Amino acid sequence: MSVTTANQKTEVMLAINGGPKAFAKQHGPRKPKIGMEEFMSIAERFGFSEEALQRIRSTVSDDDLGEGPTLSRFLTSVPAKTKGEDYEQKAREIFGTKYALPTSSGTGALHSAMIGAGVGPGTEVIVPAIGFFATAATVVAAKAVPVFCDVDESLCIDPEKIEACITPRTVAVAPTCVMGAVPDMDPILEVARKHNLKVIEDCAQAPGAKYKGRYMGTLGDVGCFSISSYKIVGGGEGGLLITDDERLFERAGLLAECGGLTRPDRFAPPRYPGELFCGTNYRLSELEAAIDVVQIQKMPALVEKYNTIRNSVLSQLKTYTEIVPQKLNDPQGGAGYMIRFFPENEELGRKIAAALNAEGIGIGRFIWPSECEIRGKDAPPDWHVYKNMFAVLQKMDSAETGCPFSCPIYIEKGGRIEYSEGDCPVADDLFDRNIQIWFDPGYDEEDCKNIADGINKVLSAYCTEDPDGRPWI
């Protein structure tokens, strides 16, 4: 239809004036961005049988999937709650915290927690000498300086040594649950409160562990978890941050969500000094969240099962002069997926390890420096102990400026840090001669008895029984 108006010469009727749309509907096929083949590749990855794959193929097609699904937490075409939101809600319910932030990794949760807690240039964070590299690394990623504190026979941070690590620059302490073992939180919290330090709990290796009846991660200011596939509550690559502190949560969210995506008004001026800054993206994918929301609900029962197994085995063990059992800060708590002990020297440890393996009792350990028979000669040094965290010890940074270790802001505040092997002698010693025995959650009473009998058999062959020795539990 052709008409003439005041501003138009010979005109067709524009859609804006009520005419027909030029592109009312796409003629060619619309395929979902992520469709059948992509989902089938996940099914293949997880080993679905050819028959099962075929059944899915024959009942679902790309057309059934429409335009979606969009695997994003924010851009979902489905009005229902996303799996990310579901995971967040379940985490809040289980841990009983006000806030939960799903993240793409435990490292992402830790980095967000550091920033949320006010860790930054010119500050220091006390981290344990045994744990994992990510704790110290995320302090450096937040442009602050990690200070290593020695451990005790629980392998967790020694509360009695924290005070000596405090300087005017210390803003936080980050106790780590070491392979299911819980730090002694009461004295840690006491010293933190006395010195006004934030407590950033790294619970990556102990999701679901408790200390005196309370979930680890809920005792300090913020708790961080990893849900990576090699953790006991394993997904693929995922993480979680929990807290009751609204401001810490907001700031953690800014770091994890590109500096403001979660703010009610992204462009509003800062509501308090330091509210706005550039962030990164640690968002959890919907695919991972779909798995994690199921996994996290298994956590309480799984940890209870592990603790029953641990306590059953420990209560059947005899005591020996040459063996020091790992100290348990809460014998009813923790996450008992393994037990540990320290033979009096490395040589004895090697003999015991070989004999236990021959009995069919799988032992593992942090890698001993003198030999790497578990992973082979060329195994890299183990990153669970400070002396092997070379990027920190050698003060490396990506631009070779020495930042944050020689950052002027740090120096102006009197900061000066030197690291070397030997700084934490208890960690050096215990790390090099610990033995750990892993459990399977499927063990029954008979398995526990057979394992305890096997340990007693081996230890009796190499050590001296001592009824007055330190009890295992």
Ligand X SMILES: Cc1ncc(COP(=O)(O)O)c(C=O)c1O
Cβ closest to ligand X, residue 87 vs residue 472 = 87
By CB under 6 A, residue 103 contacts ligand X: no
Output the smallest distance, CB 256 to ligand X, in A. 13
Residues binding ligand X: number (CB under 6 A) = 15
Q: Cα Rg for the chain, rounded, in angstroms?
A: 27
205 binds ligand X (CB under 6 A): yes
Residue with smaller CB distance to ligand X, 197 or 203? 203
Our finding on whether 175 is near ligand X (CB under 6 A) is no
Please, what is the minimum distance in Å from the beta carbon of residue 48 to ligand X? 26
Asked if residue 392 binds ligand X (CB under 6 A), the reply is no
Q: Which of 123, 154, 170, 176 binds ligand X (CB under 6 A)?
A: 176
CB of 213 to ligand X, least distance (A): 23
Q: Is 183 in the site for ligand X (CB under 6 A)?
A: no
Nearer to ligand X, 103 or 311 (CB): 103
Q: Which of 82, 107, 154, 307 binds ligand X (CB under 6 A)?
A: 107
Interface with ligand X, residue 112, by CB under 6 A: no
Residue from 101, 171, 204, 302 in contact with ligand X (CB under 6 A):
204
- Using the contact rule CB under 6 A, the part of the chain among 130-138, 273-281, 294-302, 328-336 near ligand X is 130-138
Answer for which of 76, 97, 112, 135 binds ligand X (CB under 6 A) is: 135
Which residue number, 199 or 323, has a Cβ lying nearer to ligand X? 199
Task: Report if residue 134 touches ligand X, rule: CB under 6 A.
Answer: yes
* Minimum distance from residue 344 beta carbon to ligand X (Å): 28
Can you tell me the distance from the alpha carbon of 44 to that of 63, in angstroms, rounded to the nearest whole number?
21
Cβ distance to ligand X smaller for residue 145 or 177 = 177
To 10 degrees, what angle do helices 50-59 and 36-45 make?
Answer: 160
Q: Is residue 312 a contact point for ligand X (CB under 6 A)? A: no
Interface residue with ligand X, options 131, 183, 208, 349 (CB under 6 A)? 131
Q: Which of residues 206-245 bind ligand X (CB under 6 A)?
A: 226, 228, 239
Does residue 202 interact with ligand X by CB under 6 A?
yes
Chain residues binding ligand X by CB under 6 A are 105-107, 110, 131-132, 134-135, 176, 202, 204-205, 226, 228, 239
